[in-house]
């Protein structure tokens, strides 16, 4: 999150101008998290085009008759407008609590099939956990992250990893990343508790494991490092060495020990 939870009036997921009357911000210029430029319509066209190509290629390879009989059943989710099954309340990280963000604050996608995921973006809310949940549920906010980690280590998931959350203020980075908010303030060192670091590290380790993301500072970045951003989170009190170490430990613990030659 940025300085506050105020909507800066960019276009939303539908690509239509918001009714706040605020001018449309240029790409990455918003102050709040996830302010995203409005080029969604064009983007949607591109995605459908790509899926059509995928289906077309499959049909050419195996023949339409075979597709019609059986293969289509395996490829149904690649068809334009058809999504993977979504179970209400299901979370991507075990133990997380599901609280749905407003659908205006994210965009439906099929990651990692339509967009590869190779980044985790670390944020700080600049407010309480409750206020972060509230603004992510607010369609006027225009931004939200996939997860919020509370001071006590509680994790809430608000957007599925399948989908593109508007959290980085940069369309390309939104498409390729999972966004994790942390309750607190960038200038308050005490915001970042042991429980928060531990829980967040387990979450990031799981995300890295799921998508094959290397556990390093090139792939686990702060919002401040997103190109074009004017945000400073997570700020100088976020202990990156400690965090990366904890993520590595959690990754190692999650992976079965490899035997020689395996
Ligand atoms: Zn942020």
The domain total for the chain is 1
Instruction: Show pLDDT as tens, one digit a residue, over the chain (262 residues).
Output: 443 333 332 322 223 333 333 333 333 333 445 433 333 333 443 444 444 444 444 444 444 444 444 444 444 444 444 456 778 888 999 999 999 999 999 999 999 999 999 999 999 999 999 999 999 999 999 999 999 999 999 999 999 999 999 999 999 999 999 999 999 999 999 999 999 999 999 999 999 999 999 999 999 999 999 999 999 999 999 999 999 999 999 999 987 655 544 4
From the CA of 114, how far away is ligand 1's center (Å)? 24
Distance 34 CA to ligand 1 centre (A): 7
pTM of the model: 0.71
CATH number at residue 184: 3.40.80.10
* Secondary structure (H, E, C), the chain: CCCCCCCCCCCCCCCCCCCCCCCCCCCCCCCCCCCCCCCHHHHHHHHHHHHHHHHHHHHHHHCHHHHHHHHHHHHHHHCCCCCCCCCCCCCCCCCCEECCCCHHHEECCCCCCCCCCCEEEEEECCECHHHHHHHHCCCCCCCCCCEEECCCCCEEECCCCCCEECCCCCHHHHHHEEEEEECECCCCHHHCCHHHHHHHHHHHHHHHHHHCCCCCCCCEEEHHHCCCCCCCCCCCCCCHHHHHHHHHHHHHHHCCCCCCCC
Q: What is the 169 CA–ligand 1 centroid distance (Å)?
A: 8
49 Cα to the center of ligand 1, angstroms: 32
Rounded to the nearest angstrom, the distance between the alpha carbon of 1 and the centre of ligand 1 is 4
**What's the domain range around 159?**
1-262
Distance from residue 22's CA to the centre of ligand 1 (Å): 21
């Amino acid at each position: 999150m940025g300085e506050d939870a105020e909507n800066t009036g960019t276009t939303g997921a539908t690509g239509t101008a918001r009714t706040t009357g605020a001018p449309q911000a240029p790409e990455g210029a918003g102050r709040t998290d996830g302010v995203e430029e409005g080029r969604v319509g064009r983007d949607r066209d591109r995605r459908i085009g790509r899926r059509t190509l995928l289906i077309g290629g499959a049909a050419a390879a195996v023949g339409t008759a075979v597709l019609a009989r059986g293969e289509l059943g395996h490829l149904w989710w690649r068809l334009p407008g058809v999504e993977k099954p979504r179970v209400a309340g299901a979370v991507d990280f075990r133990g997380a609590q599901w609280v749905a963000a407003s659908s205006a604050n994210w965009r439906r996608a099929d990651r990692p099939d339509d967009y590869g995921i190779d980044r985790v973006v670390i944020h700080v809310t600049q407010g309480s956990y409750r206020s972060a949940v509230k603004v992510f549920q607010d369609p006027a906010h225009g931004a939200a992250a996939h997860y919020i980690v509370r001071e006590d280590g509680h994790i809430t998931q608000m957007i599925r990893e399948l989908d593109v959350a508007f959290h980085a203020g940069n369309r390309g980075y939104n498409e390729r990343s999972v966004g994790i908010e942390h309750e607190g303030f960038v200038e308050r060192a005490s915001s970042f508790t042991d429980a928060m670091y531990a829980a967040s590290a387990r979450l990031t380790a799981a995300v890295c494991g799921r998508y094959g993301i290397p556990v390093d500072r090139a792939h686990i970045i702060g919002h401040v490092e997103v190109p074009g951003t004017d945000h400073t989170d997570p700020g100088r009190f976020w202990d990156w060495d400690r965090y990366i170490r904890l993520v590595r430990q959690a990754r190692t613990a999650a992976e079965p020990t490899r035997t020689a030659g395996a």
